[in-house]
A and B are shown apart, each in its own frame.
Chain A
């Protein structure tokens, strides 16, 4: 108990230590170690198949790890006795495919979890939904259904849905990969706003320019390992040939 309190008040929100994970014979995470301090933005970059999504999913226990340790907001994620739903109240996750619930209005999408999980009253949840939508610039879409929104708007609504749960850390997995440049811009602006508000974030991204401007830390993954780890400066002056090559070839 004291353990949890200590870490929770400490500066580290997410910590992976020597994490290993295989899918069958395929080794996907091969001793991954990194941590994220409160208020920091960590960008994970790397080639397709290098294990970025898997690492992110392990943080929210969408994948279980074979060995190593993951501590998130003071909770031992690798512990089989983890209170999964408590973890997921602390962690917000947004995927590439927005995954809004198609049969619910944007407002209902956002109020669902606070009312069901936290027991927030309907009226208060609606108030929070309004605030979250204002934050992502979608106030006028509150009564719309997801299919009436553009991809960028749906993604922003998905971010608002996560924010309404007041998470302590947000995970983003290539949230702009399905969007054209203009829509990408509007989603990235929302994420910038979150960073400015001090939200702790871990994001997998292929937007190098964006990573350069927003990241406090950068993790370059290569063949299941953290191949290079540093500040955003590594994106301009990489120290390993692999990262240099990755950046040189663009994606």
Chain B
């Protein structure tokens, strides 16, 4: 058996690969930032004890966690279309990915909040801090620190999963690959390159999270135990 690989025609298209990779990274960054915000709010809602807020958050989390990402993307895509509004594929993809990762992030951050000892919160209450101040100054950072590795994995996973937005023609890495392989008839070579590109993007993201961790958790930096 002999495999005949020829990357020539594909490598000529490198500018397309680069722009696809950039869009993938953009999608990942947008969904990470907005998803974190949703995750924090969702986790607070789930723990609030407020009957409506708790249920809304639980419904959101469960409906996202129990449906496929691709179906969610189609729901956003065709949902917006049926309302007669036309958004670029990129916007739809970013929105769907954000909604998706926000649910998982809610659960992860909730676990982080739950891991903060009650005594910490009592100490803060004893110092007359208000509830929002306690969340912001006492609970948030240690909670995120505790689940930081899980969050990192989740967001890297999201970046990889963003490949399914090629289905609605968002011009990210996988969509670019689909065009190129159908132009060049060099499918295997194309996807080898794409796989390598995803690995590179993963490494970039992990490095980014490592760096962000150094900034966010100065204690770990000082004590020499970065996450």
Contacts and interface: CB of A to CB of B under 8 A. Distances in A.
B119 A95 contact: yes
Interface in B124-178: 124-130, 133, 137-138, 141-142, 145
A60 B120 CA distance: 16
Nearest to A144: B222
A245 interface: no
Contacts of A85: 128, 130
B219 A113 contact: no
B17 to A, nearest CB: 41
B126 A93 contact: yes
A148 interface: yes
Contacts, number: 65
Given A101-B138, A116-B133, A88 B219 contact: no
B227 interface: no
B142 A165 contact: no
B127 A161 contact: yes
A91 B125 CA distance: 11
A99 B124 CA distance: 9
B145 A103 contact: yes
A88 B126 contact: yes
A86 B126 CA distance: 11
Contacts of A103: 141-142, 145, 217, 219
Given A99-B119, A99-B122, A116 B129 contact: yes
A139 interface: no
Contacts of A92: 126
Interface of B: 117, 119-120, 122-130, 133, 137-138, 141-142, 145, 217, 219, 222-223
23 contacts: A62-B125, A62-B126, A88-B126, A92-B126, A93-B126, A95-B119, A95-B122, A95-B123, A99-B119, A100-B123, A101-B120, A101-B123, A101-B124, A101-B137, A101-B142, A103-B145, A103-B217, A112-B137, A113-B127, A113-B129, A116-B130, A116-B137, A117-B127
